[in-house]
Structure 1
Amino acid sequence: MSTLLCLRACLVLPLILIALGACSTQTELRTAAQQEQFAREAASQGDWERAMRSYAAAAENAELGHGDFAWQARLHHQAGRAASGACRYDAAEFHFRQAIALAKKGEYSSALSYKALIDQYERQGKATQALAVRNELGGPQSGALGAFADRESLPVGKPCGTPP
């Protein structure tokens, strides 16, 4: 009889663990969606620092919840835009690069994130880095970036380098 009980426990335990994992995944995805909404609200108010933190947290939760690559890429892209508006260029570069990598992983277009990274380098006067990113993108695709010129630009907050 005890062998049968042990066998049942061995069969039931993995099912319980799978169910708990699924609940955890759904919680992470719901949290990511809420954080994305908080980030949108902060961005609409021009609070780029708070928007950056919320988008970054949403991206982290989307990754933990195994959200699709397109959503994760979009969250990182938006975190990069917000970081740029907050004059946090190191964070912006990180998030744009993450967005590019996730878009490639999911076989989606990464052109907007490439354009944002190039624009950021150009705003900072880093022509060499901007050219390197254009070269990384490749010839024909690099020429197509102009099509995105009116679609999206980096946010303009307070001038960087000035006290609040």
Structure 2
Amino acid sequence: MSTLPPIRSCLVLPFILMALNACSTQIELRTAAEQEQFAREAASRGDWAQAMRSYAAAADNVELGQGDLAWRARLHHQAGRTASGACRYDAAEFHFREAIALAKHSTQSSALSYKALIDLYDRQGKATQALAVRNELGWHQAQALGAFADLESLPVGKPCGVPR
């Protein structure tokens, strides 16, 4: 009895598994791109809650698909912005912090996410937390954030706490 067929199948199986993994990776990344587009559309309608969910799902799919860290950082930043518009300050803080952490490990700047986090705390009247984030940055970098003032601000929808 020959052992050649079982050995041959053992050699082929890893290649089949790698091909399947590559397909699933591409599906995750394609799904993430579609979810990002859905999020943009929801944000353009002012549907902040749906946009936040879509951006967060897109970030999860980029992670599952082992996508670019800068892309994940941008998606978390956008999820934070839309969470702020949806009055979900806890979620906004989480997403901005994720964006900052991911940006530090990629080539992307974390300045906009730092600015958004500081603005989020200022909007809530949390001066101590805003100051802590400024101190985390350092004086020179915190002063440089003023250059981003006109570039991006947090979305403003209905005032938070107002019944819909």
* Bucket of the pairwise TM-score, normalised by the shorter protein: over 0.9
In the superposition, the TM-score normalised over structure 2's length comes to 0.98
Deviation at 1:139, TM superposition (A): 2.1
Secondary structure of the residue aligned to 1:2 is coil
CA distance in structure 2 between the aligned counterparts of 1:95 and 1:103, rounded to whole angstroms = 12
The share of aligned pairs that are identical, in percent, is 80
Deviation at 1:107, TM superposition (A): 3.5
CA distance in structure 1 between the aligned counterparts of 2:29 and 2:137, rounded to whole angstroms = 31
CA deviations over 1:13-51 (Å, ceiling 9, x no partner): 000000000000000000000000000000000000000
Q: For 1:35-114, what aligned pairs fall within 5 Å after superposition? A: 35-114=35-114
CA distance in structure 2 between the aligned counterparts of 1:116 and 1:2, rounded to whole angstroms = 67
CA distance in structure 2 between the aligned counterparts of 1:2 and 1:88, rounded to whole angstroms = 65
Deviation at 1:74, TM superposition (A): 0.4
Deviation at 1:9, TM superposition (A): 1.1
CA deviations over 1:36-79 (Å, ceiling 9, x no partner): 00000000000000000000000000111111011100000000
CA distance in structure 1 between the aligned counterparts of 2:90 and 2:109, rounded to whole angstroms = 23
Deviation at 1:104, TM superposition (A): 0.4
Aligned to 2:31: 31
Measured on the aligned residues, the alpha-carbon RMSD in Å equals 0.8
Deviation at 1:2, TM superposition (A): 3.4
Secondary structure of the residue aligned to 1:49 is helix
Total equivalences in the alignment = 164
CA distance in structure 1 between the aligned counterparts of 2:104 and 2:132, rounded to whole angstroms = 18
- Segments of 5+ residues of structure 2 without an aligned counterpart are none
Question: Are 1:156 and 2:156 counterparts?
Answer: yes
In the superposition, the TM-score normalised over structure 1's length comes to 0.98
The letter of the residue matching 1:18 is M
Of 102-111 and 30-39, the range deviating more from structure 2? 102-111
Q: Displaced runs of 4+ in structure 1, greater than 2 A?
A: none
Aligned to 1:135: 135
- Segments of 5+ residues of structure 1 without an aligned counterpart are none
CA distance in structure 2 between the aligned counterparts of 1:2 and 1:65, rounded to whole angstroms = 41
CA distance in structure 2 between the aligned counterparts of 1:144 and 1:3, rounded to whole angstroms = 69
